[in-house]
Amino acid sequence: MQKVTQLFYIYNCLKQLDKRPKLKMWVRPIFSEQQRLLQGASNNLIVEMQLFDKEKYFNYLRMSPTMFNELLTIVGPRIEKQKVVRNPISAETRLHVTLRWLASGDSMTSLSYAYRIAQCTLSHIIPETCEQIWLALKDRVLINATQNNWRKVAEDFERICQFPHCIGAIDGKNVIIQEYILNIYLYF
């Protein structure tokens, strides 16, 4: 009977331990809204470049501040989120981080630290923003895809850039190509 009482006591102690509230973080402190405003690239670095060094701004986002504002006017309403429980990440910051990702090819981890936005959040923001940019601009930017139109683009590209049979180029993107060598061993 004494062993049963001891086991019952241990059982109650363990049950009490389970009732303690578990500490959960809604957002890690380094990714809080306050830290994003104080130290995030969107609210500091980009603003500084916009005010004092437009050349670096262009290098950073691959567009001028004027062009960014025009794009934000077009895409902003599509990517702006409403406040439900906490303040959402602004459309401007969403567009900044997406353009930086497109311009640099940085990993989402490095962008996460620079912009003070959790990586799992970025993994939703970037594809969503890219899709909205596409939906907003596809009819304004793309030509009617006919053979004659593409032929004219290729002729213009050859005339301007001296590249025949080409319809465009991508600027500022380095792509690493790895070659895999397959070793085959023959046993006799």
Q: H or E stretch including 125?
A: helix 119-141
The closest alpha carbon to 79, from 147, 11, 144, 133, belongs to: 133
pLDDT value at position 24?
63
The answer to the question of residue 155 being in a domain is: yes
Residue 164 structural domain: 143-173
The answer to the question of residue 179 being in a domain is: no
The answer to the question of residue 45 being in a domain is: yes
The answer to the question of residue 159 being in a domain is: yes
For the chain, what is the domain count?
Answer: 2
pLDDT above 80: residue 29? no
Any alpha helices (H) in 20-53, and if so which ranges?
33-39, 45-52
Same domain, 63 and 127: yes
Query: 165 near 171, Cβ under 8 Å?
Result: no
The answer to the question of residue 183 being in a domain is: no
The answer to the question of residue 181 being in a domain is: no
Six-digit token pair at 97? 């981080």
Tens-place pLDDT, residues 39-71: 677 778 888 889 999 999 999 999 999 999 999
Tens-place pLDDT, residues 97-135: 999 999 888 888 889 888 888 888 999 999 999 999 999
Query: 97 near 40, Cβ under 8 Å?
Result: no
